[in-house]
Amino acid sequence: MLNPGFAAIGIARVYNANSMYGWYWTTDFGGYVDQPLSPAPSPTPASAPVITSFVASSTAITAGQSTTLTWNTTGATDVTIDNGVGDVSQLTSKVVSPAQTTTYTLTASNSALSVSATVTVTVAAARGTQAPSAPTLKSASAASPTEIDLSWSASTGGTGIAGYEVVRNGAVIANVPATSLAYADTTVTGSSTYAYAVAAYDQAGNISALSNTVQATTPASPVSTTCAAPATGAFTGCYYNNITLTGTPALTRTDSQINFDWTWSSPDPAVNYSDFSVRWQGYFTFNPGPYTFTAITSDGMRVYIDGVLVFDSWRNQPTNVYTFGQDLTQGQHLLTVEYYDHTDSASAHLSWQAGSLTGRSGR
């Protein structure tokens, strides 16, 4: 075996018919190599698959809606998506309709590795299909030349009332919470008419039909005059030779009360017997509680308490009697009475007494 002439060694199984053993093993030494043998080459390792994209056509939907998942992969033999989608090896898109916010994971695999990518679809709660009932607008009244107060009844139904829209002349001017059934519109101007309605909306954004419409007219804004300061316990009366309470008073005097029947006469030689106006102002002390006021007028009269209009009958009219109620707090309150005479005989009266309003007369 150490002979340098040998180039190969091997073993063989030989049959010898003349031998008592028949088949036997033998060693073979050779001087040359018939055909060299090489080991089989190792296979080239497979590359990992690649996910080049994985997206949703819409990542924010409402419950009941659908979105489409699309993807693109290379080098993958198997492609799957979790959350019930399954094997998508032969697809490049899939429509899904998750009931809640869901993160989808796409997994691409081959014999070597697996890779994955995710996309999240956000699901919002579906709106209710039943809108709330329409509220009822109960009142719209002018509190002053620059304020109209509204009140309405509550709405029901929907997915829970969230608030109310206040509509003036066809346009939404305010939103108020569900806990409020009133609104003060302080963006109005004097001597103007406004039409109001209200709509309710629920937690899902459903909006009711509009309520009934109620109109309100603001009084004229008080006119700036040169009238003297109000008296206390009596009225300072400023008399004008016009029916608009403008200009310099023709007469200023203190009247202990407003209790006049001038008929076709003049209040004073300095004042016209017709087409005149008067503004009375005075501070009076009241106990707390309800009061009933009585106004008698021909022609027009307006009454303000602490600057707030509480009675308005500013028109040409025969002598009429009106009553109205007002709750007052303890202490001093400013009473302002505006009056004009243009037609028929002239009458102007205002009185009050403690107690609730029990009736109303006049027109």
What are the tens digits of pLDDT across the range 117-128?
A: 999 999 886 665
7, pLDDT greater than 90:
no
pLDDT band for 307, please (50, 70, 90 cuts).
confident
pLDDT band for 5, please (50, 70, 90 cuts).
low
Closest CA to 281 of 323, 333, 241: 333
pLDDT of residue 362: 35
What are the tens digits of pLDDT across the range 129-154?
A: 688 999 999 999 888 888 899 999 99
352, pLDDT greater than 90:
yes
pLDDT average, residue stretch 27-51: 66
What are the tens digits of pLDDT across the range 199-233?
A: 999 888 889 999 999 999 888 766 555 788 999 99
Instruction: Name the β-bridge partners of 253.
Output: 237
Which of the pair, 123 or 4, is modelled with greater confidence?
123
pLDDT of residue 28: 60
- Strands 193-202, 214-217: pairing is antiparallel
Closest CA to 185 of 214, 210, 154, 211: 214
Which string of b and e fits 28-65 if b means at least 16 CB within 10 Å? eeeeeeeeeeeeeeeeeeeeebebeebebeeeebeeee
Q: For residue 116, what are its two tokens?
A: 């994955």
Distance CA 231, CA 256 (A): 9
- Among 35-49, 71-85, 238-252, name the one with the lowest average pLDDT: 35-49
pLDDT average, residue stretch 93-111: 93
pLDDT of residue 143: 82
pLDDT band for 33, please (50, 70, 90 cuts).
low
Question: How wide is the angle at C-alpha 274 spanned by C-alphas 270 and 279, nearest 5°?
Answer: 70
pLDDT band for 363, please (50, 70, 90 cuts).
very low
DSSP helix/strand/coil, 42: coil
1, pLDDT greater than 80:
no
Give yes or no for a contact between 191 and 143, defined as CB atoms under 8 angstroms apart: no
- What is the edge-to-edge ordering of all strands in the sheet holding 93-96? 50-56, 67-74, 93-96
What are the tens digits of pLDDT across the range 236-288?
A: 999 999 998 989 999 999 999 999 999 999 999 999 988 999 999 999 999 99
361, pLDDT greater than 60:
no
Which string of b and e fits 234-273 if b means at least 16 CB within 10 Å? ebbbbbbbebebeeebbbeeebeebebebeeebbeeebbe
77, pLDDT greater than 60:
yes
pLDDT average, residue stretch 295-301: 96
Distance CA 48, CA 109 (A): 8
Give yes or no for a contact between 211 and 152, defined as CB atoms under 8 angstroms apart: yes
48, pLDDT greater than 80:
yes
- Among 92-96, 276-280, 310-314, 356-360, name the one with the lowest average pLDDT: 356-360
24, pLDDT greater than 70:
no
What proportion of the chain, given as a percentage, has pLDDT over 70?
82
Closest CA to 353 of 275, 264, 290, 271: 290
Instruction: Name the β-bridge partners of 358.
Output: none
Which of the pair, 198 or 39, is modelled with greater confidence?
198
Question: How wide is the angle at C-alpha 226 spanned by C-alphas 326 and 261, nearest 5°?
Answer: 55
Domains and CATH numbers, the chain: 1-37 (no CATH), 50-124 (2.60.40.10), 137-217 (2.60.40.10), 231-354 (2.60.120.260)
Closest CA to 279 of 225, 346, 315, 345: 225
pLDDT of residue 354: 93
In a 10 Å sphere around its CB, with 0-12 CB exposed, 13-18 middle and 19+ buried, how is residue 198 labelled? buried
